Each structure stands twice: as C-alpha cells, then as structure tokens.
C-alpha cells in the first residue's frame, strides 16, 4: 500500500498505528490518528475492523475519530459496515464518525435511509443531525421524495434537528396549504 506521499505502508504498520490508538498518552493517540489520516484509504478496512472488535469505548472513539479524519473516502465503507454490523456500539461510533465528516457524507447518508432496518436509519439520522446545517437543504429536497421511507426519514431528521430543521418543515407545510 502507498501513502499519498508515495511511501509504501505495510499492513503491519497500519496495525501498529491502530494499536497506538490505545496508547497511554494523548500525544501518542493523536499522533496515531494523524498517521492513519495520512495513510487514508488503505487504513479504512483495518479501522472498521478495529471499531467492530473494540472492547472499550476509548478505542472505539479513537478509531471513529481516525475514520472521520480520513473523511469522504471512509463514508461509503462506514455506511456499509454499519448496515451489516448491527451492534449498537459500532453503529453509535460509526454515526459519530460520519457526523464529523460533515457535508461530504450527506448524500450517501440520505440515500442509505432507504434501508428496511429502522435502527440503522436512526443512526444515519443521528449522523445527519450531527452534521446540522449542511444537511438541511438536501433533507428539504427529500420531503416530497417518491420513496415513503426517505420522505418520512427526512421529515423526522429535520424535526430532530430542532431550530435548524423545524422551520423547514413548517415552511414546507405552509406551501402545501
């Protein structure tokens, strides 16, 4: 595997950096996050595995932070991992990571709301709420979606956003009358 700068990165080096997410000092943990961010795409699969296998919340947190720092390339794989891994802890930290990615995650999160799994949809909605403002217009655009689930999830997510989302629902309802 190759880092963006052209340096070869081995699976062992990625594993060592992931192990360092549980290091005793914050400096070591932050250095590991920075290193995993620099590795990017090749680190996503091992980070998802670490998140799934973590036995403590600290490791889940730092794996989620590393995924969020990798950013947009992690969005699709993280959503798919959350779809298949039904463990609430995994999904909770995955949603937090997606929320931290921000605007680049919005469209894939909304598209994934089509799922038949209501718990999964709830975690996706949490991620959209965490994103906040950048998710409002894309959700507004789905208030009249042909898909009943998307339409309902867009409305509920805007509602859960409170001040950022409720006025959008009210404005849309006023247009309908």
Look over the chain and give the mean of its residue pLDDT values, rounded to a whole number.
94
Split at pLDDT 50, 70, 90, the class of 164 is: confident
Phi, then psi, of 8 in degrees rounded to 5: -70, 135
Please determine, for residue 135, whether its predicted confidence score (pLDDT) is greater than 90: yes
pTM score:
0.90
What average pLDDT does this structure show over 124-147? 96
In this prediction, residues 156-170 reach a mean pLDDT of: 91
- Is pLDDT of 4 > 80? no
Sequence-distant (6+) residues with CB within 8 A of 64 are 51, 93, 94, 96, 97, 100
Identify the CA nearest to 47 among candidates 1, 14, 8. 14
Q: What percent of the chain has pLDDT over 90?
A: 86
Q: Compute how many other C-beta atoms are within 10 angstroms of the C-beta atom of residue 159.
A: 14
CA distance 52 to 141: 34
User: 16-58: per-residue pLDDT in tens?
Assistant: 999 999 999 999 999 999 999 999 999 999 999 999 999 999 9
Q: Which of 121, 72, 70, 128 is nearest to 96 (CA)?
A: 128
Q: What is the pLDDT of residue 1?
A: 55
Query: In terms of DSSP H, where are the helices of 71-165?
Result: 72-84, 88-101, 106-112, 118-131, 133-140, 148-160
């Amino acid at each position: 595997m190759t880092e963006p700068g052209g340096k070869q990165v081995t699976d062992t080096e990625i594993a060592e950096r992931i192990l360092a997410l549980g290091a005793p000092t914050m400096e070591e943990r932050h250095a590991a996050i920075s290193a995993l961010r620099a590795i990017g795409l090749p680190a996503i699969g091992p980070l998802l595995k670490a998140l799934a296998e973590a036995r403590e919340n600290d490791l889940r947190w730092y794996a989620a932070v590393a995924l969020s720092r990798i950013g947009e390339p992690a969005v699709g794989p993280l959503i798919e991992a959350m779809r298949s891994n039904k463990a609430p802890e995994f999904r909770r930290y995955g949603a937090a990571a997606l929320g931290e990615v921000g605007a680049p995650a919005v469209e894939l999160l909304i598209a994934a709301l089509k799922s038949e799994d209501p718990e999964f949809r709830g975690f996706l909605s949490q991620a959209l709420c965490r994103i906040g403002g950048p998710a409002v217009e894309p959700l507004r655009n789905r208030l009249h979606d042909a898909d009943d689930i998307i339409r309902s999830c867009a409305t509920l997510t805007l509602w859960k956003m409170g001040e950022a989302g409720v006025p959008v629902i009210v404005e849309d309802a006023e247009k309908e009358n």
